[in-house]
Amino acid sequence: MTDNRMYIANDDAAALQAADAAACDTVKFFWRELSWEYRRVVPGVEMAAVQLPSATDASAVDTPSHAHVWISDLQFDGDQVSGRQLNDPEWIAGRTAGDAGSVPMADLEDWMSAVDGQIYGGHPIGAMCRTMSLAERAEHDAAWGLDFAETGAVRPVVAPVQEREKACSARCSVASRFRPPQWSRIRPSASIR
């Protein structure tokens, strides 16, 4: 993220609640992609982050009950999601970008990853983008430095690139033509001693 502009949304809006549910339903694709990423020799995921609620300071006037905090450098132990905070929460004193944090997986609100400059996930972001003008969308995408899906659509799964499909089919066809040699015992003939 290149700046700290906030986009305020009504958490009670039906569209955001549906987006939160969609994020929970598709988080398995995100973790699958990250598990593959940790095994890759050449990284493919440019950015991966999850959004978590964080209680705000109750003393401030007109303060929401919680802020939405993005964390990256993710680790998951089967129960807890941990990582480093990407943004500076406006209403939480003493918390800044780079702070470490950990929360139960059940608290996860959203997820997103960037591959080839395109965003996957970001369900509530997609819902918010649907309400923005084209100029606001351009400003939003520029602030993130990423390309969110057109018209607020959400890409849940990294789609294979056409070139990757061609390369894979070429490797598969070559592999199927060459088989490892069949090992057999060579019996010495009676004439060879």
Write the DSSP assignment of 41-77 as a string of letters: SS---SEEEEEEEEEPPTTSTT--SEEEEEEEEEEE-
User: What is the predicted pLDDT for the residue at 50?
Assistant: 92
Q: Which of 13, 8, 12, 101 is nearest to 51 (CA)?
A: 101
What is d(CA 19, CA 109) in angstroms, rounded to the nearest whole number? 9
- Write the CA distances from 103 to 53, 75, 131, integer angstroms: 9, 11, 30
Q: With 60 as the cut, is the pLDDT of residue 90 above it?
A: yes
Q: With 60 as the cut, is the pLDDT of residue 112 above it?
A: yes
What is d(CA 105, CA 75) in angstroms, rounded to the nearest whole number? 11
Domain boundaries, the chain: 13-169
Mean pLDDT of the chain: 74
Lowest mean pLDDT among 40-49, 123-132, 176-185: 176-185
